[in-house]
Amino acid sequence: MTVKLRPLPPRIVKIVPRYEGYLFFVLADGRIVIVGPSTLKVVVILA
């Protein structure tokens, strides 16, 4: 599976500043997957 990683929107970083610089993608079911910028490992999946 290939996904397009995008920077987290500023409004999310404002709520959770520690995620500044992190990337994300959205699953087909609408869940948001946050990925670490240097490791590209999944950090959290938000429902």
This prediction has a pTM of 0.86
The 10s digit of each residue's pLDDT in 20-41 is 999 999 999 999 999 999 999 9
* φ and ψ of 28, to 5 deg: -60, -30
DSSP 39: T
Which residue type, as a one-letter code, is found at position 16?
A: V
Inform me whether the pLDDT recorded for 1 exceeds 90.
no
Residues 18, 20, 4, 2, CA torsion sign = negative
Q: Nearest 5°: CA angle at 28, between 13 and 24? A: 25
What secondary structure letter does DSSP report for 15? Answer: H
Q: How far is CA 21 from the centre of its chain?
A: 9
